Structure 1
Amino acid sequence: MSVVSRFSEPIEVSFGRLRRRLGPLAITGAWGVATLAMAGSLYFSEIAHYTPCTLCWYQRIAMYPLVAILGIAAWKRDVGIRLYAIPLAAIGAGISTYHYLLEWFPQIDAGACTVGIPCSQVWFREFGFVSLPFLALTAFLLVITLLLIPTHRPDSEEAAEEA
């Protein structure tokens, strides 16, 4: 979006307005997404009784710490958390992508799910494509997107706008 905004002034103005509105809430929003994803995974395993496979556990290992670290970062208003949270969410997104592909193409299994529940098990598929790994992938990508929203503009942009 930033590249496009450099070529179109109305888009740049709109993007700047969106950035100013969402920037201060981005870390809190990322925490909310991670919390909702954690609650959803607990619902599916503990209430709906879907047994998590190995890749589901790996995705949980990536998502659950995000709830704690993003919550603390939102409380302390620590934008430096991006250095730690984005790589963790990116790892989770990679696992979710592989898991989602594995549901559609079970033959690509590299042996990650050899014990217990098969990782190609589809518990549900809404709209023909939304499954648990898809929901996890969406959550990881949304966390990354929210954390990439700048919370403040560099001084050079502010000076150029004032001139």
Structure 2
Amino acid sequence: MTLLGVATPLAVLALIADAIVLAALVGLVLSRVSAAVRGWWDGLRDLVSPIALPGAFLVSLIAVSGSLYFQFGADLVPCQLCWFQRICMYPMVVLLGVSMLRRDLVSARLYALPLGVVGLGLSIYHYLLERFPGQIHLNCGAGQPDCAVTPFNIFGFVSIPYLALAAFLLILTLLLFARSDGEEAWEEEPAAC
């Protein structure tokens, strides 16, 4: 397969991930202002919770597989920021996989959320560096690929850091969206006397 033959389906998956994250954020906000939406939201969380951890694991596995393809299949040398993002993503495959097998959402949140937050910050910074190369300066070192150069832009804006950004966002959303065992739906706050 060619680079674009792999990058294009990953770009579509990234856009789907963005839509899921946006829908979750809108649902969260609306559930805070409307009792009717709150009931729907709690039902949706109950429905999605059992598949959230396997979903987060699958997202991390696809992200790692994509990065390995870009490096070894398409011969793209990762830049310094790509390596830092990999440091955050690669352990998540193991952490989320073990947590999924143990059905332990609490441990997944404890260990994967910090990695996801750091990885998200790095991918946002890297994406901004690509979009505004003159505004942000990073010394990547001699012989290292330039972090501001991207080998592709699918749909005009989806690059490798964007793929990582979408993956980190979706993993964080799934981990925060899911309900752990014993976690109850939001209660209606009692009226003040």
- 1:47 paired with 2:73, answer yes
Note the 1:1-150 alignment, pairs <5 A: 1-80=27-106, 81-115=108-142, 116-150=144-178
Distance 1:53 1:65 in 2: 19
Q: Is the 8 A contact 1:55 1:112 kept in 2?
A: no
Q: Is the 8 A contact 1:53 1:117 kept in 2?
A: yes
Structure 2 stretches lacking a partner, 5+ long: 1-26, 188-193
Q: Report the alpha carbon displacement of residue 38 of structure 1 after superposing the two structures with TM.
A: 0.2
Report the more deviating stretch, 118-127 or 13-22: 13-22
TM-score by length of 1: 0.89
Structure 1 stretches lacking a partner, 5+ long: 158-163
1:78-97 CA-partner distances (Å, limit 9, x unpaired): 11220111110010010000
Distance 2:55 2:139 in 1: 32
For these two proteins, the number of residue pairs brought into alignment is 159
TM-score by length of 2: 0.76
Distance 2:139 2:176 in 1: 31
Distance 2:52 2:169 in 1: 13
Q: Report the alpha carbon displacement of residue 133 of structure 1 after superposing the two structures with TM.
A: 0.2
Report the more deviating stretch, 12-21 or 63-72: 12-21
RMSD: 2.0
Shift of the 76–114 alpha-carbon distance from structure 1 to 2, 3 Å rule, reads: same
| Consecutive aligned runs of 4 or more in structure 1 exceeding 4 Å deviation | none
Distance 2:31 2:185 in 1: 18
Q: Is the 8 A contact 2:42 2:185 kept in 1?
A: no
Report the more deviating stretch, 35-44 or 79-88: 79-88
